[in-house]
Amino acid sequence: FNPQLKTKLPHFPFHLKIGDRTLILDYITDSECQPVMEMYNQAAHKGHGYGTDEFNSLEAFKEDFIDGAHAIVGRDAQSDQILLSFSIAPTSYCRSTNPDMADGFLLVDPALRGRGIGTRIVQLMLRIAKDIGYRGYVTDTFLSNVPMYKVLMAAGFHVIGYAPNMAFVEGT
């Protein structure tokens, strides 16, 4: 088992209906890396779930978000605007050279939050992680990120510990 030997999955492109919108989920392209990184950095600087220095360069973003991962963007089918992104990769919480547990990133555009989209995407991520061959999923979030905490609890995650002061998060 080596999920790091990535092949594109047949799941994508995937059409996701959200109200009157259709999002097209597909693998991130190189030209989308910079705008997606900027979305994560904007969220971090507003205190929405990421450390302010989590992605301090495009190279760091690609290393964390894309390398060895299944990195996906969701575009509005009509406007072509990127409205969400997620990434599934081997977890850094495993002490094996071939982790069989997944982790990842998730970001939903602020205009779409509060509609259950995060929960739907986390459920999709869990299904895809199993299809890739992972046994399960280990992730983290900041306690200040109450919406993501609720999404993770609704998706069946369990708190296994608290690690204070692990990153600088705006507003905390």
3-class SS string, 38-64: HHHHHHHHCCCCCCCCCCCCHHHHHHH
pLDDT tens for 62-118 read 988 888 889 999 999 999 999 999 999 888 887 777 888 999 999 999 888 888 899
pLDDT tens for 74-89 read 999 999 999 999 999 8
Q: What is the pTM of this model?
A: 0.85
The single residue listed with the structure tokens 């990120």 is 145
> What mean pLDDT is predicted for residues 121-135?
92
Q: Rounded to an integer, what is the distance from CA 81 to the centroid of its chain?
A: 17
Q: How far apart are CA 136 and CA 38, in angstroms?
A: 29
pLDDT given for residue 5 in this prediction? 46
When pLDDT is cut at 50, 70 and 90, the band that residue 55 belongs to is confident
Residue ranges of alpha helices (H) inside the chain are 33-45, 58-61, 117-132, 146-154
